[in-house]
Amino acid sequence: MASRWDHLFDLKPVSLLEHLLEEVAKLLHKDLQQWPPPVQEVDLDTGGHFAPLFTEPRPRPSRAVYTEAFRLAQWELARETDAYDDYMRNKRYLERGLAPDDRLPLLFLSRWLTEQMLGLGEATEGRVKRKHLRDCLERLQSKLHAVQVPSA
């Protein structure tokens, strides 16, 4: 008869990097449960156009906005600037079912996601590479879409 711990010996070991990416995805998932997600500060010179998201009551963006923000963040991390530029210049988000008013939350979310990932890379002194950051974003997106994004 097998003991209740035998199944633990059959589990595949998880690398430290895998564990880190999973934990980061969990933390960011928690941050994304609120709208807008928490920020350290808003620099009015570079991010002042996002101020209305914090000063005016606005409803939580739709799930489609989150999906498109993940797409943009993935492109940024993959350095696919042509795809990003084409998407924004030609307002491809409208083709994806977003409204013109969704542009500001879309840009904010994509920047927030990108900054979180780049911050992780910086905090680990580059040991977590961009391909790992993209993997972390995929994990986060899976977690976010596994549960219904709460309404505001």
Reading the chain (152 residues) residue by residue, the pLDDT tens digits are 667 777 777 777 889 999 999 999 999 999 999 999 998 876 666 667 888 888 888 899 999 999 999 999 999 999 999 999 999 999 999 999 999 999 999 999 999 999 999 999 999 999 999 999 999 999 999 999 887 555 44
Residues 6+ apart with CB under 8 A from 135: 21
Whether 9 maps to a domain, the answer reads: no
d(Cα 71, Cα 76) in Å, to the nearest integer? 9
Predicted pLDDT of residue 67: 97
Predicted pLDDT of residue 26: 97
For residue 36, cis peptide bond before it (omega within 30 degrees of 0):
yes
Predicted pLDDT of residue 46: 64
d(Cα 90, Cα 20) in Å, to the nearest integer? 37
Split into its structural domains, the chain has a count of 1
Predicted pLDDT of residue 14: 81
Q: Is the Cα torsion angle 106, 107, 110, 115 positive or negative in sign?
A: negative
Residues of the domain holding 32: 15-144
Whether 7 maps to a domain, the answer reads: no
Whole-prediction pTM: 0.86
Whether 45 maps to a domain, the answer reads: yes
Predicted pLDDT of residue 53: 86
Predicted pLDDT of residue 12: 76
Predicted pLDDT of residue 78: 97
Whether 5 maps to a domain, the answer reads: no
Whether 10 maps to a domain, the answer reads: no
Whether 3 maps to a domain, the answer reads: no
d(Cα 3, Cα 139) in Å, to the nearest integer? 33
Whether 127 maps to a domain, the answer reads: yes
Q: Is the Cα torsion angle 130, 133, 139, 144 positive or negative in sign?
A: negative
Q: Cα–Cα distances in Å, from 120 out to 43, 55, 130, 133?
A: 20, 28, 10, 8
Whether 152 maps to a domain, the answer reads: no
